[in-house]
Amino acid sequence: MLEEALAEIRAAASLEALQEIKVRFLGKKGRLTQAFKAMKGLDPEERKARGQELNRVKQAIEKALEEREAEIKAAELAAKLEREREDVSLPGLALAPGGFHVATQILDELVDVFRRMGYQAVTGPEAEDEFHNFDALNIPPHHPARDMWDTFWLEDGHLLRTHTSPMQVRYMEAHTPPFQIVVPGKVYRHEATDATHEAMFHQLEGLAVGEGITLAHLKGALLTMARALYGENAKVRLQPSFFPFVEPGVEFLVWWTDPRTGEGRWLEVGGAGMVHPAVFKAADDAREKAGLPRVYENVTGFAFGLGVERIAMLRYGIPDVRYFYSNRLAFLRQFPRP
Ligand code: FA5
């Protein structure tokens, strides 16, 4: 029996085959177990000798099983390593370097221009409350001007800010004039998209407040911006417009010369105006409620808000605002800047 078992074990090619042999010889109904049971009828002397012999056979089989198991495992591991061998000499795949989105590039450039004019850049929440987005900007509930800004409402009564103007009020609530700030950021509008309208886009808000600030200062700031963006020959035009939070209100246009054709035209870039007294009052009222002094009764200020994507479209001749956020790499790669 021993020779037979050892031969089988040597021939076993897998762990499963080995297990099967083990059961057949050493299992409950295995041949060796049977042989132990068959000793019952023998007389004591014979039984002792037979028992010792069978124990030796058992040990020999167990040892052979163990050794063969180790061999098979080693062979399997070697085969697996061979199968999964990595060719470390293969050249790697180069990762494409990321770059800033074209809207971010323009926004950075704009913020830079205004920093050089002494403005400080601040940011505010995209999930706004109705008070800062509308009421404090002289747009009471049911005022028809609310139609100018189709709004995404959040379930908890907040909204996605429809412009960066709410930061005018937030900033004034917490700061004392004089100051000049710009507010870059995302805004959202619940409107049908088309070539010039997206549901999400970026604005840059500007606010300058102090004694004796006039519309001429506004025009000067916008002219400096236009020259920085479009060159020394850039021109700016203000034309009357209406926004509830400024009086007078204007739209500003930039004279832009197409570098390819040499032709120029007026392009609308944003809204602006002199801060409306109702906005100063809303800020002062909020300050008073918070235990702060009223500081906006003897100052004037100007504010502006411009569309960042529009500026990029003018600069690069991009025909459709929807290209910006459709994640087409062929579009985005045209504006590389690491
Ligand atoms: C405003 O949002 C005012 N808050 C601007 C302002 C600020 C006026 C301070 C006075 C004082 P308006 O809705 O016109 O205004 O938007 C400003 C600019 O954002 C537009 O001139 C345009 O350049 C851009 N814009 C407006 N709607 C969209 C849109 N759906 N997609 C892309 N750009 C847009």
Predicted TM-score (pTM) of the model is 0.74
In this structure, what DSSP letter does residue 208 have? E
Residue nearest to atom 2 of ligand 1 (CA): 163
Report the nearest atom of ligand 1 relative to the CA of 162: 2
The reply to whether 62 sits in an annotated binding site is: no
Ligand 1: distance of its center to the CA of 205 in Å?
10
The one catalytic residue in 163, 170, 202, 276 is: 163
Least confident of 159-163, 207-211, 325-329: 325-329
The mean of the pLDDT values for the chain is: 92
Instruction: Report whether residue 302 contacts ligand 1, using a CB cutoff of 6 Å.
Output: no
The one catalytic residue in 183, 203, 234, 275 is: 203
189 a catalytic residue: yes
The CA distance from 132 to 40, in Å, is 99
Instruction: Report whether residue 206 contacts ligand 1, using a CB cutoff of 6 Å.
Output: no
CB-count exposure of residue 85 (10 Å: 0-12, 13-18, 19+):
exposed
The one catalytic residue in 269, 303, 308, 321 is: 303
Give the distance from CA 294 to its chain's centroid.
Answer: 40
163 a catalytic residue: yes
Assigned token pair, 258: 């197409």
Q: Write the ipTM.
A: 0.99
Instruction: List pLDDT tens digits, range 115-173.
Output: 999 999 999 999 999 999 999 999 998 888 777 788 999 999 999 999 999 999 999 99
In this structure, what DSSP letter does residue 194 have? B
